[in-house]
Structure 1
């Protein structure tokens, strides 16, 4: 499965400046997703991180991986409109996180997320971000799917 930005925006509630996935290259239901984020000097975070040496914040690389995981989860249920409109997907844990090298303007992040354990409410993933086939970050993600009540998220 290949998704363009319009299709991604139908699955994710994120919008500028926090939408961090530009395209899905491949999605294998129940297994994995591969997506990309094109890193441009026009990203708003480069104004402050750092003006003299622009580097993508590591937390945003992790957020991009988590968004790919959310697309994976919502993509497997995308036929259910009520599900999409009444559900939120939260990043609730990260472990074993390592950053290998800086991500700078002009880089293209390849986001690879592999299902480790899929549950009805909590799922775990092994994830890594690559630039030019070199790992720049890797982490284990835990995400929770929660129903929304009256447009508010229920407690964890």
Structure 2
């Protein structure tokens, strides 16, 4: 059995796109930093006014939708699960969101903000992981959730 690396470092956008099937406009992670195996990481999302959701949410007062913050947390967690499995020579075909619990939105996120998705593993069993996530802007908590994901090999 291959030992999991203690420190993987960072994943730029090209690596993130290798790990996740999502593409614009639904890829909600620009970079992942502080990767510690499948234990924890920080996903980065730069929010810009030219994103399609701002044409309708809300035109006079653009606010990044909360559901997309949760999706960004899930994508960040899914990427490190995939990276962990690839390091063990098990290539997953898909990562699926299983559960979303204890979601709370604290402050609005607006264009110009940089969101950090702080993800920490709570537990895992075979191909399933559970994470606690906090979305932060300038160190302030804007959203939090517990997320479950499953890797599927076909």
Give 1:81 deviation, angstroms: 7.2
Give 1:104 deviation, angstroms: 0.3
Asked whether the equivalents of residues 11 and 78 of structure 1 are also in contact (C-alpha less than 8 Å), the reply is no
- Distance across 2 between alignment mates of 1:81 and 1:42: 39
Which residue matches 2:94? 88
Give 1:79 deviation, angstroms: 4.3
Deviations 1:104-140 (A, max 9, x none): 0000000110000112122111101000100000011
- Distance across 2 between alignment mates of 1:97 and 1:144: 19
- Distance across 2 between alignment mates of 1:43 and 1:79: 34
Which residue matches 1:40? 48
Relative to structure 2, which stretch is displaced further, 139-148 or 47-56?
A: 139-148
Give 1:146 deviation, angstroms: 1.9
In structure 2, stretches of 5+ residues that fail to align are 1-8
| Residue among 2, 8, 12 paired with 2:10 | 2
- Superposition CA RMSD, Å: 1.4
| Residue among 20, 24, 27 paired with 1:12 | 20
Q: How does 1:1-156 map onto structure 2 within 5 Å?
A: 1-79=9-87, 83-84=91-92, 87-148=93-154
Distance 1:82 1:126, change over 3 A: closer
TM-score (structure 2 length as normaliser): 0.90
In structure 1, stretches of 5+ residues that fail to align are 149-156
Structure 1 runs of 4+ off > 6 angstroms? none
TM-score (structure 1 length as normaliser): 0.89
Asked whether the equivalents of residues 45 and 114 of structure 2 are also in contact (C-alpha less than 8 Å), the reply is yes
